């Protein structure tokens, strides 16, 4: 411990005080940091099944998800979400587009921010999504309940992981009367996962 008794190696008290004040101010800033007014998100998305994925023929769909969240009020933001998926199942192409809006409630836990979503809107699909050359409806009500976690990478960029339960109800159309009908097993309940990056400003 010879270095402790060497006056040349002792740290000046003023320097110690400055370092302490700097650390304290950084901690206080992190605790009182004002949340970003806007959030722009984009990334990969996975839907758990196709519209014609009856029991024994489930097939997930890959796609993308983008969202915009606006200035918060008591941690609650208005959010607009758009997602698209493409694939095929049982010989039928699947081209899906969902546009939903609603609320996003966020809460910070240390560096991370957890959030919950409740969204509703419309879904669109190609009319050839059913199997066996049947005709399907191209529009449906859709809703999403879920949440996720944002991990900051820089001051304005965060990495997001999210998931949730999505509901949509696409019917089949009778080829002559165009009266909607359903067959047993057509899915209405879906799981959704998404991961990507958030720009906060």
Q: Where are the domains of the chain?
A: 2-31, 34-200
Name the architecture of domain 34-200: Beta Barrel (2.40)
DSSP class of residue 25 equals H
161, 189, 200 from 102: Cα distances, Å? 19, 19, 19
pLDDT band at 178 (very low <50, low <70, confident <90, very high): confident
The distance between the two most distant Cα atoms of the chain, rounded to a whole number of Å, is 98
Q: In 3D, which of 189, 170, 169, 145 has the Cα closest to residue 55?
A: 189
The whole-angstrom separation of Cα 119 and Cα 111 is 26
CA–CA gap between residue 98 and residue 92 (Å, rounded): 19
What burial class does residue 195 get, using C-beta atoms within 10 Å of its C-beta: 0-12 exposed, 13-18 middle, 19+ buried? middle
pLDDT, mean of residues 26-51:
79
For residue range 87-142, what is the model confidence (pLDDT) as tens digits?
Answer: 999 999 999 999 999 999 999 999 999 999 999 999 999 999 999 999 999 999 99
């Amino acid at each position: 411990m010879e270095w402790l008794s060497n006056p040349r190696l002792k740290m000046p008290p003023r320097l110690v005080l400055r370092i302490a004040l700097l650390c304290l101010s950084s901690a206080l800033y992190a605790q009182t940091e004002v949340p970003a007014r806007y959030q722009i998100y984009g990334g990969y998305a996975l839907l758990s099944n196709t519209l014609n994925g009856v029991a024994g023929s489930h097939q997930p769909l890959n796609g993308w998800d983008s969202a915009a969240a606006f200035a918060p009020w008591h941690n609650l933001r208005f959010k607009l979400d758009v997602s698209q998926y493409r694939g095929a199942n049982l010989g039928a192409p699947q081209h899906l587009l969902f546009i939903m809006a609603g609320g996003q409630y966020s809460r910070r836990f240390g560096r991370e921010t957890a959030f919950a979503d409740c969204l509703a809107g419309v879904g669109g699909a190609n009319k050839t999504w059913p199997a066996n050359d049947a005709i399907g409806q191209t529009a449906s009500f859709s809703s999403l309940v879920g949440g996720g976690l944002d991990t900051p990478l820089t001051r304005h960029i965060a990495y997001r992981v999210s998931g949730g339960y999505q509901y949509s109800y696409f019917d089949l159309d009778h080829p002559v009367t165009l009266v909607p009908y359903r067959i047993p097993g057509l899915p209405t309940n879906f799981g959704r996962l998404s991961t990507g990056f958030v720009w906060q400003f």
